[in-house]
Amino acid sequence: MTSTDIFALCATTLVGLGLFGIITNPQPLRKIVAFNVIGNGVFLLFGVVAHRGAAAGLGADPVPQALVITGIVVAFSATALAVALLLRLAKQTHLLTLEADDGSDGDLS
Amino acid sequence: MTFSLVRAAGFFGFWLILTGLSLADLAVGILAALVAMRASLVLLPPGQWRPRPLLLLRMALRFLIQSVLAGLDVAWRALDPRLTMEPGFIVFQPRSPPGPARNAFCAITSLLPGTLPCEEDANGDLLIHCLVVSPDVAPQLASEEALFLQALGGRPDHG
Amino acid sequence: MTLALDLLTIVGVSAGCFFFVAGTVGLLRFPDALTRMHALTKADNLGLGLIVLGLLPQAAGLGHALKLVAIWLLAQVSAAVASQLIAGAVLRQRSAIWP
Amino acid sequence: MALGFDISLAFLVVVLAAWTIQVHDTYSAVLAFVVFGLLVALIWVRLASVDVALTEAAIGSGVTGALLLSAAALLRPTESTVAPPGAAWCTAAGVVCAIITAGLGAIALLLPDPAPTLAPLAAANLPQSGLGNPVTGVLFVYRALDTLLEKVVLVLALVGVWSLAVDRLWGGIPALWPATCPDSTLTFLAQLLPSVGLMLGIYLCWTGADHPGGAFQGGALLTAMWLLVMLAGVRAAPATGLLSLRLLLVAGPTLFLVIGLSGFAIAGAFLAYPPGYGKPLIVVAEGALTLSIGVTLGLLAAGPAERAREP
């Protein structure tokens, strides 16, 4: 068992935990946080692959690293958009679920 | 003018700490120092303070010793099985005018032994949380503040 | 000479860690949020200072040493401000519960 | 010794992730997520990816954390209205997630040995670009199109966020809750720190050509300083309709695109750099991108307009 293997297992556990959070937590904001936990797990898997590909005097393969940097920034913009949508939803309906409502519309002013 | 130059020189010194001495970095460093100086002048316009370098140095040294004492004090209390303390609040009337000087003094106070400023009430008095409440705290803070104002070069009776 | 410098590093970093542990013990043992803020800011500030002091002899040149000191100063400013913000928030919460 | 450290680090990260998912209070969950992000950044350092570690600490933990914290505070009153799912449902989900974790784990442990790698190729071609940091090399030379498109994604996300404003507030001012006390130590921090942060941002961008750092990390630092100034109430948030602000937003991507298109004329391909001019062109593009990224991330965190513009 090397350090890289430990981190690989850590990354897969994060994916599982995040997925569990997305499925079981009814609050949308918690789903967004869980989505970020999954994202971190996937990025770490990339990191493990990069570290296994260390060669030519580089500590890790730079290509997956560059992809992860791009990924972190895109994950942030997705999170920001999701949070903005959520806040607008909460303002519009004064409710906070993604369940189908009973047909009565919220205040749409 | 000289004030801006002193700030710019300070920022440039910080740049040298970051990059070390190399010719290629210097041009960017000067640019960065000018940008930082502009930002700092916009955010914190120079006041009527005339800082005295020697007194500032003495205060920094005093502050260093005080913060070591503060750490020792807290560590001793945390590890002492009897957990001796009498926490509570005191009200302190600062003599420094509201604004950067008072805020800076609050920041310093929070690292001195046993004191933690919490909030400012409507009269401008500071509510300070103490690990051990005693009548000595307020005069001690007052003398620290006098030193601080002296080092900044302002008149203590101001405001 | 190297031995003396290494010794300084070992002593400095160990003492720094000791204060971090003491701060954490305070965080766990102190009775309320405000007293815990005392423990965290003051003990951790000294702990970080001692670790930086211990690492100074290992720095490659003056630039690196000054960088370490700059880290300590920035951490100190943020600790001072953050502790007051938290203390203020605690007080506002208290006065909301017991006006 | 190192293995022991790694095991405890991975364990802590997993515990924090579980806490983030399971704790009842959303605010605590987000706080745990911020700490989690910082520890993940430490894992990145252990995986010899310092550039990623900086990005994760600044954006993945810092700016995302600020955004989620403000959302959690705003949504707190509505929190108790939601009923959790039943135990059977949770157990089923837990079993499915455990199977997925186990499968992924097996795949991750059985990856081919020796691992396929592009590192030698990247290292061999790096001197041509004049850069010293292979990650910046990949971002701005080999995968420059990805980097360009990513900037476009950032701007598009911002357009999406802005379009959530009520019609009559279009072009108005984002609602950043101002500081609770008008003149406090927070004000002092917001007056003192930004100039130092600006220098560090410029430094990170500049040093990114040869050392860990770059446009994203530098830009995120600028964002942090800007958010600090706005939250402390030292300077108000800008109206989203300001022309100068919008020009700043697109300055980086546009300059990058112009450099890319001029590649057709001077080097024979899109996003190609003429020999010997690679590094200066990349540094110029990175400088503009840092500014644009800083502004875009800040506005993404600030959210849609909620106050009308003063006439």
Question: What string of pLDDT tens digits covers the 159 residues of chain B?
Answer: 677 788 888 888 888 888 877 777 788 888 888 888 888 888 887 766 777 888 888 888 988 898 899 899 888 888 888 877 788 888 888 888 777 888 888 888 888 888 888 877 777 788 888 888 888 888 888 888 888 888 887 654 443
Q: B76 and B98 share a domain?
A: yes
| Number of domains making up chain D | 1
- Residue B11: give the domain boundaries: 2-43
Cβ contacts of D192 on chain C, cutoff 8 Å: 77
Cβ contacts of C74 on chain D, cutoff 8 Å: 196
**D62 Cβ neighbours under 8 A, 6+ residues apart:** D34, D37, D220, D224
Domain harbouring A67, CATH code: 1.10.287.3510
Say what the pLDDT of residue A107 is. 42
Question: Does some domain include residue D59?
Answer: no
The Cα A71–Cα C98 span in angstroms is 47
| Number of domains making up chain B | 2
Q: B57 and B86 share a domain?
A: yes
* Percent over 90 (pLDDT), chain D: 27
Say what the pLDDT of residue B159 is. 38
Signed CA dihedral, D231, D233, D238, D240: sign only:
positive
Say what the pLDDT of residue D310 is. 67
The number of helices, as runs of H, and strands, as runs of E, in chain A is 3, 0
* Residue D171 exposed, middle or buried by CB count within 10 Å (0-12, 13-18, 19+): middle
Give per-residue pLDDT as tens, D225-271. 998 888 888 888 888 888 888 898 988 888 888 888 888 888 777 77
Angle at D60 between CA D57 and CA D63, to 5 degrees: 90
Closest CA to D22 of C62, B99, A34: A34
| Number of domains making up chain C | 1
**CB-based contact (8 Å) between C66 and chain D?**
no
Write the DSSP string, D181-236. Answer: SSSSHHHHHHHHHHHHHHHHHHHHHHHTTTSS--HHHHHHHHHHHHHHHHHTTSSP
Give per-residue pLDDT as tens, D197-235. 999 999 988 888 888 888 888 999 999 999 888 888 888
Question: Does some domain include residue D56?
Answer: no
Cβ contacts of B39 on chain D, cutoff 8 Å: 194-195, 198
The Cα D144–Cα D267 span in angstroms is 15
Window B:31-90, CB contacts with D under 8 Å: 31-33, 35-37, 39-40, 43-44
Rg over alpha carbons for chain B, rounded to the nearest Å, is 19
Report, as an integer, the average pLDDT of A83-104.
69
- Residue A27: give the domain boundaries: 3-93
**D273 Cβ neighbours under 8 A, 6+ residues apart:** D129, D141, D259, D263, D267, D281, D282
**Mean pLDDT for all residues in chain C:** 87
Q: B62 and B136 share a domain?
A: yes
Give per-residue pLDDT as tens, D260-279. 888 888 877 777 777 777 77
CA-nearest residue to B112 within chain C is: C42
Say what the pLDDT of residue B1 is. 62
Cβ contacts of D195 on chain B, cutoff 8 Å: 11, 36-37, 39-40, 43
Give per-residue pLDDT as tens, D98-145. 999 999 999 988 888 777 878 777 777 777 777 778 888 788 877 888
What chains are in contact with C, requiring at least 3 Cβ pairs below 8 Å?
A: B, D
Question: Does some domain include residue B159?
Answer: no
What chains are in contact with A, requiring at least 3 Cβ pairs below 8 Å?
A: D
Residue indicated by tokens 């900044």? B152
The pLDDT of residue A99 is above 60: no
Question: Does some domain include residue A104?
Answer: no
Question: Does some domain include residue A103?
Answer: no
Cβ of D181 within 8 Å of Cβ of B100? The answer is no
**CB-based contact (8 Å) between D38 and chain C?**
no
Cβ contacts of D60 on chain A, cutoff 8 Å: 36, 40, 72, 75-76
**CB-based contact (8 Å) between B26 and chain D?**
no
Residue of B86, B129, B130, B137 to mutate, interface with C, max C Cβ within 10 Å: B129
Give per-residue pLDDT as tens, A15-64. 999 999 999 888 889 999 999 999 999 999 999 988 888 777 778 888 88
SS3 assignment, position A107: coil
Query: How distant is the Cα of D185 from the closest Cα of chain B, in angstroms?
Result: 5
The pLDDT of residue D179 is above 80: no
